[in-house]
Amino acid sequence: MMRKWPTFPHREGTYSKQAHADFPEEAIYEREAGREGFFGPATHFHHQHAPTGWTEWEGELKPRAFNLNNIEGAQQTSPWSIPIVLENNECKIRVWRLQDTMSHLVRNADGDELLFIHQGSADLYCDYGHLEVSDGDYVLIPRSTNWRLEPHSPMFLLMIENTGSAYALPDKGIVGQHAVFDPAVLEPPAINDKFKAQYSENQTQVQLKRGGKVNVITYPFNPLDAIGWHGDLSVLKLNWRDIRPLMSHRYHLPPSAHTTFVGNGFVVCTFVPRPIETDPGALKVPFYHNNDDYDEVLFYHAGDFFSRDNIEAGMMTFHPAGFTHGPHPKAFQAGREAKKTFTDEVAVMIDTRNALHHSPEAANVENNQYVYSWKTGK
């Protein structure tokens, strides 16, 4: 059944006419309570105190930070052997370290796989051909594709499985299909000389994952033997440097404006360097928000993460739905003082409709004091 949200724009007390701009001086902290991930009804409160100003927290539903540089078990030759960091029924998030050439193929029958290459470079060989990949690349691998990597240098990858479904591009609405990134920048593999050079009659194994269990299929030849193909289903590569973010000098756009891929029950967004808002009354850091229908995950790739303190590349933060999150106190104050004119951060955000659960391996690299990092003076 189609549903219609009750809409009744109402004003109460002292408020700003425009969300994320021109706050009342006596209440500089704005908090957005919204539904459906910034697309549903929303209310903007103006508070006298920071909504993240808690002093104690009891219970498991809390903001978490994981240093994935130190996670155990990520150094494997197969991605099906590495630990899961966060998961629900629609999405599984892993990190993978790979140094040596994969002597086997892998195949995920559980869903599409999205790789984000945090460090390193490699030759990727798959059913569709050969593709060179390097740091900053997203690599979209359709379900049940055979593939392997030959690293040029040690690799550190973020893997986001779209369990039981396929990735799609977001609807870009009134800005048109060429905004943010033109689909023409998407690069498929090629049946080139490197691909042809790996044809062989040598015995080859495929590690097939289905239902979380691995099957090993042995062929007396290399299954990557296609001489050509035609169609509109393929492995695709997109580098964050080809993303041209939506911007507004007068209004801080919500994270959904930076959506890169749409999964089943979640979205993947990319934050890339951009100018900071210049209008005197515009908010210049992410706004405090509840986003009560989505869990929020951020993987930090490079640069200065302007809304966070004590975060380094290779770390991940996890903010479950149900409480307000937003910039750390120093970042909020720096935004008020307009100390920066440009962001140089690169980060991958995953917003999931259903609750995520973290693994024991993630708990082992958690900063347990992160929940208190919004205390004044921290």
Given 118, 130, 252, 319, the catalytic residue: 252
Give the position of tokens 């409709």. 353
Region label for 338, one of left (φ > 0), alpha (ψ between -120 and 50) or beta (otherwise): left
Instruction: Say if residue 325 carries a ligand binding annotation.
Output: yes
Helix H, strand E, coil C: the string for the chain is CCCCCCCCCCCCCCCCCCCCECCCCCCCEEEEEECCCCCCCEEEEEECCCCCCCCCCCCCCCCEEEEHHHCCCCECCCHHHCCEEEECCCEEEEEEEECCCCCCEEEECCEEEEEEEEEEEEEEEECCEEEEEECCEEEEECCCCCEEEEEEEEEEEEEEEEECCCCECCCCHHHCCCCECCHHHCECCECCHHHHHCCCCCCEEEEEEECCEEEEEEECCCCCCCCCCCCCCCCEEEEHHHCECCCCCCCCCCHHHHEEEECCCEEEEEECCEECCCCCCECCCCCEECCCCCEEEEEEEECCCCCCCCCCCCEEEEECCCCCECCCHHHHHHHHCCCCCEECCEEEEEEECCCCEECHHHHCCECCCHHHCCCCCC
Instruction: Say if residue 104 carries a ligand binding annotation.
Output: no
Please give the Cα distance from 133 to 183 (Å, whole number). 18
Please give the Cα distance from 268 to 254 (Å, whole number). 14
8 Å CB contact between 260 and 268: yes
Does residue 252 have an active-site annotation? yes
**Other C-beta atoms lying within 10 Å of the C-beta of residue 277:** 23
Structure tokens belonging to residue 208: 């097939």
Instruction: Say if residue 295 carries a ligand binding annotation.
Output: yes
Could you tell me the end-to-end alpha-carbon distance of the chain, in angstroms, rounded to an integer? Answer: 48
Binding site for homogentisate: which residues? 325
Binding site for Fe cation: which residues? 289, 295, 325
Catalytic residues: 252
Binding site: which residues? 289, 295, 325
